[in-house]
Structure 1
Amino acid sequence: QQFTTYRTEDGLNSNSIISMAEGSSGEIYIGNYEEGINVLKNGKIENFHSEFNGRRIRVAYLHLDSSDTEDTKLYAYTGQTALYVFPEKKSGNKPYTLDFKPHYLIKVENLPTGEKVALTTGGLFIIRNDSIVRLQISGLNDTTAYCLSSAYDSSYYIGAKEMIYKIKHGKVIRRYKVNLFNDDNKVVKILCDRNDNIWFSIMNKGFFYIATGSDKIIDIGSKMGLGTTLVNNYLEDSEGNIWLSTYGKGVFCLYNLYLKSYSENDGLSSNSIQSLIKAGTTKLLIGTFNGLNVLENGVFNQVEINSQNPSTDYIYNIKEFDDEFYVCVSLGSNEIINTTYKGLNLYMFTYLSFCKTDAGLYLFGTILNTIATQKEMSNWMIPFSISTVFGDSLINNRVNEIVEDSEHNIWIATGLGLCRASLFLNEAGKTELKKSFFPEYPVLNAGINAILQDKAHNVWFAGKKGIAKYNIKHDSVVSYTSVSGHDFSASTSLASDSKNRIWIGNMKGLYLLEYNSVKYLNQQTGLPSNEVLSLFYDSTNNSLLIGTSNGMSILDVDNFDQYQAVAPKVIITEVKAGDSTYTNYNNLIFKPEQHDISIDFQAIHFSSPGSVTYMYRLDNNWLTTDFSSLNFISLKNGTYNLQIMAKAQNTLWSKPYVLSFRVLPRFIETIWFYLLMIFLLLTTGPSILMLSLKLNKIKANKELALTERINELKHQALSAMMNPHFIANSLNSVQYLVNSRKYEDANNYIAMMAKLMRKNLDTAGKGFIRLSDEIDRLKLYLDIEKLRFQESFTYEIIIGVELDTNTVLIPNMIIQPFVENSLWHGIINSGNSGLLTVAFTFENVDIDSVIGRSLIIRVTDNGIGINEARKHKKEDHISKGIQIIEERLRLLSTKMNLTQPIVFEDLSGTDPDAHGTEVIISLPPPLYKVTNHSSDPSTTVTV
């Protein structure tokens, strides 16, 4: 936090400063206790006045009188008999003194008329120019006046010894006797607030309160732990909060003064208030977790209950019928206690709820899903009938409330939901309930805690899932789970005031529902607790009695309605951009590198400080936030107008605070950059275009050559598969079979050869074929070779479990040359009976650090092995076919940016006892495809 300090070396007469005042032109007058007056003007300390008639001026108070704009005066005094009067401008009138001898000057104040009045030990004096005139007040003698406070009706209050006077039009119109202590009752400070309540202090005795229209003095200081503290000043702010400063204990703020709260510290037997009701004109009956209390004339007393409950006298409910009070309490027996307390007739019994009908029946609610009915009140509870509410069984279901409406419907609130009933007599003369329920309404089909009928023929219900109302005339139900974002679940109690507004007690606070608008009070706004357990409206005093889990409150409805919650004002506390922090928020301009901007702000609301929320807009949309800071990352260049609004509990949104700032563009965002780009494009564009066309042509030529080579290899592969040696040998075998008169074998041999050649010709133009077709072709080829070599080898084809050969496509003409190579150079040369295995499986393979599923084809034989075969192997059509397939797969891999797919392995290299060769062909996507059964593989891949 930045600050400036001024000391004697800067020009002050003394470092002991006791008073200050602001001049008419913004200068600051500084009162030194024994060294006169300095003035701070244009950043420079000057001596204003330090002597008067050769004597040092001692200053305890400074007061500026600007009522005469042409002759503004500065008053300085110390509590002695003289008042120093200095013209604010040194030119012109000379300073002078006003002498109040033999009286001592205590304070200079303003009257409601604007006149200056001096409060002295000998009464009040009007200060007019360079003279003083005693203020004549009818009904007030020349008593010592210690303090003055103006009211809002042109009257004012004077604090004196043992008395407060209210004065209007020159006469005392009211007196308040202040006789609280034996030794000292001087009223040394006083404030009349906007509601005409009086706040006053007694020297070192705390502070006190007199409500408007009352003579009763309430000791608030003692309740706040300030009973022996000097409260030396009061201030009422724009929200109506009362601020008070103390000597040694800091500053206090009293807010939401329409609420008065009481707790165990004030005499309650328990802070848990379960039920409240007005008794007569002066008494309040308060049912608590620990007995029945009576509040009368500000004093709590507890009604003695002779119960058999060893733990506590828990009050469930209190009802009033015909000036008699019925108290539901945990007595521990079936006894009905009838007692009186200061003229109140009380009945006490062990039930949860109670109702007396217009027909004179007494209804009692139990914890076991029943209503007990009794025709008269006696010393013992002997019901003549018991009726179940939900179903016909005794179950754990509390009956929380029983109410009879104006149409004689009996409403029963239970833990399982709401029941509407009517009473009738059965054949045995017992009462029964004709019941109806509300399963179609979730609010009424869950736990209900309270029932209330208002003046508009609506019956209201409060419960676990919200509130609801039933209109008696229209037989209609309206439910409210929330209104204007306020959640009504966990509602406990109801009350209706003189305006027929509905007050709702809830475990989250207190709500006032008026049409479709809601006001909300909770612990932040002055309630003792958020958990409101009970409500009662006192129509005589127009007040709401509020029972909570931490004490009770009395809400003055008139004051509450008059209270205008002021929206909090937004102020900016800090702006950061990059590494810079700004304190002046006018015409902010940020450099191009300062595109990350942080803005801290605040909106103080003393009445509910924790309820402030914010709304801001940087472009077109308003956004809400609970945080008092905003961070904008990488803002584009341009001019911005950030608007921020604040809202507290029960207030409207404040006027937007507008923070304007500009983010300068980077060079690449300026018009100069675009002009440079246009220039470069015009000068170098044609060359770049020509180069691009040339490179594209080279690339196209390479791709064309690659495609042509692949097509050429396809035809060579077909030729390899149709090699003349194989055909000639096959024809020789056919001739042998014919000469040997094995005509059927010869026919089969010719048929297989024809089928194989037809398959090769049918698939010759296709880039990819189904794996099932390739396997069929391999089987034909191997069966033909088995006939030629007279069963000198066997073969097996293995297909993985998860592999569907009808949907997998592989490149055409890639397997047969490897099978033929294994057969001719591996198995036939070994001279032993051979085994040839072709296996197809899916495996996860690491390709460039990425795990992918590849189709693995393994061609394995138990022949002489690749190393031995190479020693006497000559270039033939088989080797040529393998080279063609290797080159074709290599070109496909290159075109698709894949790794090389073929690996040859001599099995003797891994196991000395093994022999043979294994060829592994790895086909990662997209060297194999998966398609539907109905798809044509010839159109699936265009390679």
Structure 2
Amino acid sequence: MLLLFSQFTFGQNPYYYSIDRTNGLPSNSVYDIFQDSKGFMWFATGKGLCRYDGSVFKTFTSDIQTSKSGSCINEDSFGRIWYINFDGYLYYVENGELKNLPQKESVGYIKFGIIEDKLFLIQTKSVAVYDLKTLQLVYTYHLKDEYIRATYTSNSKFYFVGEHIYEIDYPNKIKTYPLTEDFRKTLEVPIIQELNNEFFVVSKFSNYYYTYKENQLSKKKFNSSFDFIQNLAIIDNAPWLCTPNGIIKYENEKATTYFSDFNVSYIFKDKQQNYWISTVNSGLLFIQDFKNNFIPLSPKPTVFSSYDNQLLIGTENDLIFGLQLNDLSVNTVYKNNSNHPINQIIGNEKEKNIYFTSSKFKILNNQNIVSNEKSFAVKDIKKIDDTYYSFAASGICGLFKVSDKKSKWDSLHNKNLNAPSNFNESALIKSNGKSTAFNPENNCIYYATNMGLKFVNSNGVNEIKFQNKTLYVTNLQSYKNTVYALSTSEELYKIDSKNTVTKVSIFEKHLKERFTKFKIQENSIFIFTTNGIIEYNLIKNNYRKILPLTSDLEVTDVAIVKDQIYFATSKGIIVKNKFKNKEFTKPELIINEIKVNGILYKENNLSELEYNQNDITVNFSVLSFIPNEKKSVLYKINDGNWNRLDADNKNLILSSLSPGDYNLFLKIDANYETKIKQIDFKINKPFWLNTFFLIYMSLIIIALLYTFYKYQIQKIEKKNQLLLDKVNLEKNLNQSKLKAIKSQMNPHFFYNALNTIQSYILSNDKKQAVSYLSKFSTLTRTILEMSEKENITLSEEIKTLGLYLDIEKARFDEDFSYEINIAYGIDIENIKIPSMLLQPYVENAVKHGLLHKKGEKKLTIDFERIFDSLKITIDDNGIGRQKSAELNAIKNKDHLSFATEAMQNRIALLNQYKQKNIAINFDDKFNKNEQSLGTKVIIEIPITY
């Protein structure tokens, strides 16, 4: 009696889904509920403010909080979510972070108000007005009232209650309205809401309430009593009182109590018409529709059957309940202590019998007493006519007779009758049966067996195959002239009246969830999936998720009786109206934030991204309050293919994108058309890939190429010029050599030499003549040999100079002498110098310096080494270069000495080939009286070997 009374007491509660810490809720203590403009649900919990999209909770906390518990959630015109903790401090969520309002003080918890872009906050003897754009205090209303007990915010005005009722219509002055003494005493802690254009005011500690309109207070009393009111909500144009013992709804002066076992803090109805109830210690209750009844039932129901204006309910513990359809009361029909689940049940209203299977197959009579039973496991029973039922059992499939009326199945039944039998059954197929169905169109009885799908008619037993393969079936259901079959591979087939099998492809196309069970009721197929019950209408060819499932909610059977849909669940019986059953709102894709290289960006600022701002992260939410349903998101870029993201992944990361224009598309992966979100952004090319830069660089490259071309041309020209200069140089060198040779072998020199030889011969000085002639011939031969060489050794040069000076000495009297000095360490055999380089300078010293000098004539040639250079000094004590030039000018006005022309040209030509030049310096020597003492020629030649 207590069990039945308890079940009936809770029968008025709607079915709810529990959301608590096991689902991710940060705390089971919830104090306030709010839905923002995007559709997210917000909850003020014992662990702080959190946001919920239907599957994921995101909690916002900060170290700056004095405490986390609070209430009064609100949203401003800038999209920020506000709430106040129970210490009286305000916080708001902006760009994913919890921040605090820089308020001066706190007077404890009292609701604040938001009107347009202004925030109203109660302070000590004042009301502070903040500008929500700047979050700065812009005005202060000063009060004489020290104790403000409650506030209320309308669309344009802020109200608060102390010793009076105060009204602020910012920026106007405060208006004050009087309160009665009875109001102040009765409603010590008032809670204010607005109902039917008037204030509805209750107190936490009183059964009285007031209505206030146009300065008129009206006192009324609730027709039920309670100890404490925690909150007040106006929903569906009715007041709902939230108490520690559930919710009390007042409508037409009638009070209805729901969820009396819960300590309720608030109730909220969202934009999708769902109801949310927050509790102090049990988390949240989610109710899709208050019209859906829930009947807790224990033991767990397993199977339904309509019978005699009630719904028979088989349970898991060999117990049968009867649910009365008129008042949803529950009574016990049959009870046994075998503890076996009831797997099938069917009521025969004409015979007033109930057929069911638990440990045995049993028949209950009209007194609910077992009138017959048989020890075999019947898996399924279907009605054939008023006389026969088909059954599928372990080891046997056939018919059993329930009345003496004549039937066209009598002959088949009598032919296969098991005798003797008190059950009056016939064995048509001897194999393990799993399910059975009957098609009145072709008078065929179908049996799903372990040997395949069989059918029986007047012609006997036959097998039905699909594509010439045996079809193994677990469940058979008939609808009009068609039989539906669910295979062991979880695929649905239909068999028409001609026993043709076709696969039902619509479920594969639209229902991506696998299912292991289905049931046909009236014109609908109910499909049992892991995430919910899907109803497919066979007339309209549409489908809907009629009951979402959670991890703790299992559905075993469904039935439609008198426009009501009944669900047998692990928690009890859920009852929904067939025609007024509200569908869940379809999920919605919400773009939360877009980050570029980890920095938050607004969508309208994505048109001009730099080339290195190419890491894009899109954070989104799938807003859906369908319990236990997760939706994947598809995305594509430009005209590419759709790609699927994991259902738990709420971030789309695009890394290292190339420059260009991008159109990013996102949509929910669903069996129906969903809204596509589009995000457009552009990543600019780097400046070196811009058109103008490319043109500029092309011009520079062309200029560089042209410059390089010109350089190469000049280089070639220079090379050619060098070759030409080399040829000219060699020509000039040869000419210089030739001139040197000519200088050595000029007719005057030969004439002088021959005269000298002749004088020796005439003087009969044969020895001197022969010696002189030998030296002359050797010098001539040496000069000719040296003319073929570019460089000669220093020893060869010294030898040639000695020959030349010996020949020249014969021309002079005994007053001419010369010395050739070689310093220590000079390798005369290996050091090389240009051929015939010194001889012209020596000749100049003899011809122009010493020849015209009176007295002793002396020539000194010194060779010494200074680092990597050979220093050669040719020193004479002749008349000097100035006197010599004067004499030459008198003799020949056009005379130009060899040294000043041919020799200088040759030195210049030689220096073009050497890294270190040949240096020649002339030193004119004078005494104190400025008389010439001779000339010194200093030649420095780089040492080469």
TM-score range, shorter-chain basis? 0.5 to 0.7
Q: Secondary structure of the equivalent of 1:37?
A: strand
| Corresponding position of 1:295 | 323
Q: Secondary structure of the equivalent of 2:702?
A: helix
| Corresponding position of 2:300 | 270
| Structure-2 separation of matches of 1:319 and 1:614 | 47
Shift of the 461–554 alpha-carbon distance from structure 1 to 2, 3 Å rule, reads farther
**How far apart are residue 35 of structure 1 and its match?**
4.1
Shift of the 445–250 alpha-carbon distance from structure 1 to 2, 3 Å rule, reads closer
Shift of the 475–417 alpha-carbon distance from structure 1 to 2, 3 Å rule, reads closer
| Structure-2 separation of matches of 1:9 and 1:435 | 82
| Structure-2 separation of matches of 1:218 and 1:388 | 56
| Corresponding position of 1:205 | 245
| Structure-2 separation of matches of 1:14 and 1:191 | 29
Shift of the 684–235 alpha-carbon distance from structure 1 to 2, 3 Å rule, reads same
1:365 to 365, 388, 392: 392
The answer as to whether partners of 1:369 and 1:398 remain within 8 angstroms in 2 is yes
The one-letter code sitting in structure 2 at the alignment partner of 1:96 is T
| Corresponding position of 1:603 | 622
- Aligned residue runs from structure 1 range 617-696, under 5 A: 617-621=636-640, 622-626=642-646, 627-646=649-668, 652-654=673-675, 656-684=676-704
The one-letter code sitting in structure 2 at the alignment partner of 1:20 is F
| Structure-1 separation of matches of 2:212 and 2:290 | 35
Shift of the 569–631 alpha-carbon distance from structure 1 to 2, 3 Å rule, reads closer
Deviations 1:873-895 (A, max 9, x none): xxxxxxxxxxxxxxxxxxxxxxx
The answer as to whether partners of 2:167 and 2:176 remain within 8 angstroms in 1 is yes
The answer as to whether partners of 2:160 and 2:167 remain within 8 angstroms in 1 is yes
Shift of the 385–9 alpha-carbon distance from structure 1 to 2, 3 Å rule, reads closer
| Corresponding position of 1:573 | 593
- Aligned residue runs from structure 1 range 406-445, under 5 A: 408-422=443-457, 434-440=460-466, 445=471
| Structure-2 separation of matches of 1:483 and 1:216 | 48
The answer as to whether partners of 2:372 and 2:423 remain within 8 angstroms in 1 is no
| Corresponding position of 1:20 | 112
The one-letter code sitting in structure 1 at the alignment partner of 2:216 is I
| Corresponding position of 1:84 | 166
| Corresponding position of 1:496 | 521
1:111 maps to 2:171: no
- Aligned residue runs from structure 1 range 138-217, under 5 A: 143-144=220-221, 160-162=222-224, 189=232, 192-193=235-236, 200-201=240-241, 203-207=243-247
Shift of the 677–29 alpha-carbon distance from structure 1 to 2, 3 Å rule, reads same
1:39 to 116, 129, 133: 129
Q: Secondary structure of the equivalent of 2:579?
A: helix
| Structure-2 separation of matches of 1:60 and 1:559 | 43
| Corresponding position of 2:834 | none
| Structure-2 separation of matches of 1:552 and 1:235 | 25
**How far apart are residue 619 of structure 1 and its match?**
0.7
Q: Secondary structure of the equivalent of 2:580?
A: helix
| Corresponding position of 2:175 | 95
| Corresponding position of 2:483 | 459
| Structure-2 separation of matches of 1:46 and 1:192 | 35
The one-letter code sitting in structure 1 at the alignment partner of 2:493 is A
The answer as to whether partners of 2:472 and 2:487 remain within 8 angstroms in 1 is yes
| Structure-2 separation of matches of 1:381 and 1:507 | 42
| Structure-2 separation of matches of 1:415 and 1:221 | 51
**How far apart are residue 444 of structure 1 and its match?**
8.4
| Corresponding position of 1:242 | 275
Shift of the 369–191 alpha-carbon distance from structure 1 to 2, 3 Å rule, reads farther
**How far apart are residue 549 of structure 1 and its match?**
6.2
1:322 maps to 2:350: yes
Identical-pair percentage: 13
Shift of the 200–652 alpha-carbon distance from structure 1 to 2, 3 Å rule, reads farther
| Structure-1 separation of matches of 2:372 and 2:233 | 47
**How far apart are residue 551 of structure 1 and its match?**
5.3
Shift of the 35–411 alpha-carbon distance from structure 1 to 2, 3 Å rule, reads farther
The one-letter code sitting in structure 1 at the alignment partner of 2:656 is S
1:60 maps to 2:149: yes
| Structure-1 separation of matches of 2:711 and 2:396 | 93
| Structure-2 separation of matches of 1:443 and 1:187 | 67
Shift of the 376–221 alpha-carbon distance from structure 1 to 2, 3 Å rule, reads same
The one-letter code sitting in structure 2 at the alignment partner of 1:76 is F
The one-letter code sitting in structure 2 at the alignment partner of 1:278 is S
| Structure-2 separation of matches of 1:2 and 1:635 | 35
The answer as to whether partners of 1:570 and 1:644 remain within 8 angstroms in 2 is no
**How far apart are residue 443 of structure 1 and its match?**
10
**How far apart are residue 286 of structure 1 and its match?**
3.0
- Aligned residue runs from structure 1 range 766-781, under 5 A: none
The gaps in structure 1 that reach 5 residues or longer are: 67-71, 135-141, 145-159, 163-178, 424-432, 693-943
2:580 to 559, 563, 568: 559
Shift of the 323–645 alpha-carbon distance from structure 1 to 2, 3 Å rule, reads farther
The one-letter code sitting in structure 1 at the alignment partner of 2:384 is T
**How far apart are residue 570 of structure 1 and its match?**
0.7
The answer as to whether partners of 1:400 and 1:449 remain within 8 angstroms in 2 is yes
The answer as to whether partners of 2:165 and 2:178 remain within 8 angstroms in 1 is yes
The answer as to whether partners of 2:387 and 2:401 remain within 8 angstroms in 1 is no
The one-letter code sitting in structure 1 at the alignment partner of 2:577 is D
Deviations 1:163-197 (A, max 9, x none): xxxxxxxxxxxxxxxx8xxx75989645544xx9x
**How far apart are residue 28 of structure 1 and its match?**
0.6
**How far apart are residue 439 of structure 1 and its match?**
0.4
The answer as to whether partners of 2:594 and 2:618 remain within 8 angstroms in 1 is yes
Give me the TM-score of the superposition, normalised by structure 1: 0.54
Shift of the 269–375 alpha-carbon distance from structure 1 to 2, 3 Å rule, reads closer
Shift of the 208–241 alpha-carbon distance from structure 1 to 2, 3 Å rule, reads same
The number of residues matched between the two structures is 586
The answer as to whether partners of 1:640 and 1:660 remain within 8 angstroms in 2 is yes
Shift of the 352–214 alpha-carbon distance from structure 1 to 2, 3 Å rule, reads farther
Relative contact order, higher structure (CA 8 A, sep 6+): 2
The one-letter code sitting in structure 1 at the alignment partner of 2:455 is R
The answer as to whether partners of 2:380 and 2:393 remain within 8 angstroms in 1 is yes
**How far apart are residue 628 of structure 1 and its match?**
1.5
Give me the TM-score of the superposition, normalised by structure 2: 0.54
| Corresponding position of 1:899 | none
| Corresponding position of 1:512 | 535
1:543 to 548, 560, 564: 564
CA RMSD in angstroms, aligned pairs only? 4.4
Q: Secondary structure of the equivalent of 1:679?
A: helix
Q: Secondary structure of the equivalent of 1:586?
A: helix
1:582 maps to 2:637: no
| Structure-1 separation of matches of 2:529 and 2:465 | 23
The answer as to whether partners of 1:318 and 1:328 remain within 8 angstroms in 2 is yes
| Corresponding position of 1:73 | 157
Name which one, 1 or 2, has greater alpha-carbon Rg: 2
| Structure-2 separation of matches of 1:16 and 1:335 | 69
2:313 to 276, 285, 303: 285
